[in-house]
Structures are given as C-alpha cells and as structure tokens.
Amino acid sequence: MARVLITSAIPYINGIKHLGNLVGSQLPADLYARYMRQRGHEVLFLCATDEHGTPAELAAAKAGKPVAEFCAEMHAVQAKLGEGFRLSFDHFGRSSSPQNHALTQHFAGKLAEAGLIEEVSERQVYSHADGRFLPDRYIEGTCPNCGYDKARGDQCENCTKQLDPTDLIEPRSAISGSTDLEVRETKHLYLRQSQIRDRLRDWIDGQSDWPILTTSIARKWLDDGDGLRDRGITRDLDWGVPVKKGTQDWPGMEGKVFYVWFDAPIEYIASAKEWTDADGRPDADWERWWRTDKGAEDVRYVQFMGKDNVPFHTLSFPATIMGSGEPWKLVDYIKSFNYLNYDGGQFSTSQGRGVFQDQALEILPADYWRWWLLSHAPESSDSEFTWENFQAGVNKDLADVLGNFVSRVTKFCRSKFGEVVPEGGTTGPAEEALVAELTRRLAAYQDHMEAIEIRKAAAELRAIWVAGNEYLQSAAPWTLFKTDPEAAAAVVRLSLNLIRLYAVLSRPFIPDAAQELMRAMNCDDWTWPEDIGAALTTLPAGHAFTVPDVTFRKITDDEREEWKARFSGTRD
C-alpha cells in the first residue's frame, strides 16, 4: 500500500467558478484520489479556497460586505458546490485560516534566516479615492504607443506593448475611474528565487515523466531574459496574512500582508493541519504527510492545476520549500491542464460567460458533468465545450452504452427469472473470451489511471462497457431461453455480475451512478477485481436484486436548445 498526497489548485474566492475551473484541477484530482483509494492506497486529498488579494477585496466591496464575511460566505458556497460535484476532499480549507497565517509567517521567517529575503523600496501608484495601492493592471489610461484609451498599466491590449503605469497618458483607477492618483514610495519583501535557480533547474531537469506543458513553462521562467527573477511576496493590503518573521514583528513591514501567491500554496500544507486540528488530533497526524523527517519519505505527492498556475507550483513554491532549509515534502508529479473553452470562446468568470458550477448542478446530476468533462479533459491542448458535443457524449456513453446495458439485463431477467440471480447452466468459450478481453482492458484502464492519462482511461472504461453489450448481443439469452433456459440463465447471471463490476470500475468517474447500480444489485462489495473471472461470480445464484430506475435519462434536443440559449449571454 502506497501513500498518496493529492492537492488540486485552490480556487479563488471572488465568485462561483465555471466548468473550466472544475475540469482543470479539482475534477481530475478527485478522479485520481478516488481511484487510488479504491486500489487500497492511503490517500490524503486536500483543497481550499484562495482568499487573499485585490480581486477578493473588490468582490467583497461590490457585494457590499466586509471582506472576511464575504470570504466566509463564498467559502461555504464553494464547499457546497464541491460536495455537489462529489469532490472527495479529505479537507477543504481556507487560505485565511489561522493555521495558514502561522505557517506562512513561519516560512517567511525561515527564508529570512537563510538570507533569501530582501527588502526593496519601490514606487507604486496609490489611489486616494479608492484608498488603496493599485496593481498595475488596475490602472487604465491612454497608451503612449498606439493611443488606445483603455490600455492597462501592465500592458496595452490593443498594441500588446508592455507598459509601466507611469507611461500611461491620463491614468485613472480602473476601479473607481478616479484620476486622483499619486506615485508613492513603499517597501516590500522579495523572495530571492534567483539564489535557488540552479537547484530548481536540476530538480526540473530530473522530472522526465512530467507533462511537457509543465516542464516547458518552468524552463521558460528559469531561462527567460536574465533568468529567474526575484519576486515580491508582500502587498499593501488590509486583508491577508500580516507580515511577520515567524512569530516576531517585522520592523518596517507594519500594516502589510503577504502576497496571495506566497501564502496560497502554503495553504496546501496548512490545510492538512486544519484537517487534524478539526478533530483535535496531534500534529504528527498531518506531519507524516508533509515532513520527510516525520514519516513523509514514502509519500507520493501529486498536484493538479491549470497551466496558468504552473510557474508558481514549479518555481515559487518549491523555492519557498527548498529555501526554508526544512524537510518539507516536495511535489513528485505535476499534472497540468490546458483550458476548456465554451462554444467558440473562453469561459469567463468576470464576464459571466459559460456554464457555472451552480447552474450546471441545477440542470443535471453531477455524474453527467463529471463524465463528459473528464472524458474531454484538456490534456494535450485546449478543448471546447459545446452543447451538441455534450448532449451526444452523455446520451451515447452514459444512457445508451452503460445505462441501457443495465436496463436490458435487469429487465430481461425480471421477465424470465424474476428479480433474483438465476441458477443453472455453465459458462463456455464466449464467456472465456469476454473475461480475456475484460482482463486486457482492465490492465490498460489501470495503466492509464496510474499515469493520469484521463481521456485514455475514460475511453478504456467505455470500451469495457461496450464489451458487455457485445457479449450480450452474441450470447442472445432471449433466443437461448426458448430452447435452453439454463444456458440463458448462465448468460444473465454473468451479465448481472457485469453490472456490479461496472459499478466498481466506473466509480471514480461517476460515483453516484455507481452507487445506484451497486444498490440495485443489492451488494456492497467494492473490491477492485484482481481476477475478472472470479469477480464475475460475486453475485451467486439466488441473490435478490432490484431493477433500477433509468440510470441516465437522455438530454433532449429541446433541452439542449433551451440551455444553449440560456447560457449564451452573461449570467445575472
């Protein structure tokens, strides 16, 4: 039995996330966590909300709420949506937790001791009307290069020229529109990542099996221009982790907080402490996952994230861990994803474009989304959600191939033998061939799951479902029954066992439906099959079952059109 630590990128707090966010980290992480648990491994699956930063403060202001209250509410909303999608987190924490405050300050203290923190004085734009410093992109003005009047302080979207906020003509706050701006001197802490560059490079170079997407982004940052740059890890904000050196005050840093990207990954660790603290368990219980000096040497740590998160997970966070000089667990494998687009464009939280998690669950059960999203995960390039593809995929795969198989087997049995596994008859070459095929496909399925090749795993699972229909078609128990009822009974007995096997194998993808099927088979044996032939005799003759309701109803053309129209514009 192995021990697997799994984290998915922690979703930002500023609003309800769309399906692109879901498929880019949490959903695949959940698939992997569920699979590894089913295979008997010890799994710790952690996630949290990422609650700090300017956008969180602005979202709270827009909602007319104090930021702490806003974040608490949004955390509850996201936690509930996670449950709705059956994300099997062992703990869903908050980056604003006291545990994360303490740990973030601890790391900063250790980095300072190691000489990896530098104090830098810099000039930033302050808005009197907004009462805050403005990040570059929150300043708008006219581009000095092309004259575009909505250029941002970091870059002009029209001519793509990189800008400094002070380059803008007639700069104004993007928040309030105020032109009452002032350049102020302010002091910040920088993490001297450049000092750790060679260690990071050696570490990255040693990861030959990581997705190209992951390593190429890391190398780009290591080698771009003058190489890996030091990074500011503090901000002038109210809401965040106060800057401290361990438990000590940090002279000159009063009133400042750590940068959200410094404290967010540390929450992966703090979430584990939140998890044990919640039950009053000792620190040793979470440290055995995170401290290689306290039992984590044999842990395999796997992270899931969208490509936009890769630099922070391959460089900044490892630099924090390496630089601390303490034996924290480094990530072993980083699975990164491209983007899921929506019907010809991007999903957008700010523009309200696409399908959001709450809306998705309102119109269909979680399994529909899980199956389609996972079987179309943007692994090799950006992928696209269209209602036509979604309808076709769900109807064909879930309703026709899997659902209808269950339906035809159980209903045939009920009409000929009653709601009980029939006895009599023996298996022959057809059954042996089926077992051989399933054994081969199961091995492939397992290989793909181990390698986190999600679309391939989904395709293999589907092929396993198809094999049942092929078998049933060629065995034709409805014909056999007329001349040799016992032979038909043997076919049906095996087919009912196939349903149970499908519940076991499909559970990581579609946990609710798997549960329904298992319940209908009046069984609770989720043992992962070591031997297909043996697994297909689990339900013995005489075992009672029930014919389940339609497991997956089809999406009608009318529904498809209705949803397409409903989600074409922006959400309220």
Partner RNA sequence: GGGCCUGUAGCUCAAUUGGUUAGAGCAGAGCGCUCAUAACGCUUUGGUUGGGGGUUCGAGUCCCUCCGGGCCUACCA
Q: Which residues contact 385 (CB under 8 A, 6 or more apart)?
A: 19, 340, 341, 342, 343, 347, 354, 355, 376
Ligand-binding site membership of 156 (annotated) = yes
Q: According to CB under 7 A, which one of 96, 309, 324, 506 is a site residue for RNA?
A: 309
Nearer to RNA, 426 or 473 (CB): 473
Nearer to RNA, 43 or 175 (CB): 175
Reduced DSSP (H G I as helix, E B as strand, rest coil) percent helix, strand, coil of the chain, to 5: 50, 15, 35
State the binding string over 345-374 for RNA (x if CB under 7 A, else -).
Answer: -x----------------------------
CA distance 569 to 359: 14
Nearer to RNA, 171 or 311 (CB): 311
The size of the chain, in residues, is 572
| Contact predicate 17/357, CB 8 Å | yes
State the binding string over 172-211 for RNA (x if CB under 7 A, else -).
Answer: ----------------x----x------------------
**Interactions with RNA, residue window 258-287 (CB under 7 A):** 259-261, 264
DSSP output for 172-183: EETTT----EEE
Nearer to RNA, 380 or 439 (CB): 380
Q: How far is the CB of 486 from RNA (least distance, A)?
A: 17
CA distance 439 to 448: 14
CB atoms within 10 A of CB 287: 20
Ligand-binding site membership of 159 (annotated) = yes
**Interactions with RNA, residue window 208-247 (CB under 7 A):** 212-213, 216-217, 220-221, 224-225, 227-229, 231-232, 235
Strand partners, 299: 3
- For 519, list phi and psi in degrees, rounded to 5: -65, -40
Q: How far is the CB of 546 from RNA (least distance, A)?
A: 14
Ligand-binding site membership of 71 (annotated) = no
**Interactions with RNA, residue window 10-39 (CB under 7 A):** 12
**Interactions with RNA, residue window 377-436 (CB under 7 A):** 378-384, 389, 392, 396, 398-404, 406-409, 411-412, 415
Instruction: With H, G, I as helix, E, B as strand and everything else as coil, classify residue 424.
Output: coil
Nearer to RNA, 43 or 477 (CB): 477
Nearer to RNA, 33 or 174 (CB): 174
**Interactions with RNA, residue window 485-544 (CB under 7 A):** none
The letter for the amino acid at 475 is A
**Interactions with RNA, residue window 310-349 (CB under 7 A):** 311, 338-339, 346
CA distance 63 to 215: 39
Q: According to CB under 7 A, which one of 238, 308, 432, 531 is a site residue for RNA?
A: 308
Q: Which residues contact 96 (CB under 8 A, 6 or more apart)?
A: 51, 52, 68, 71, 239
Q: How far is the CB of 7 from RNA (least distance, A)?
A: 15
Instruction: Give the angle 314-316-317 at the CA atoms, nearest 5°.
Output: 75
Annotated binding-site residue numbers for Zn(2+): 143, 146, 156, 159
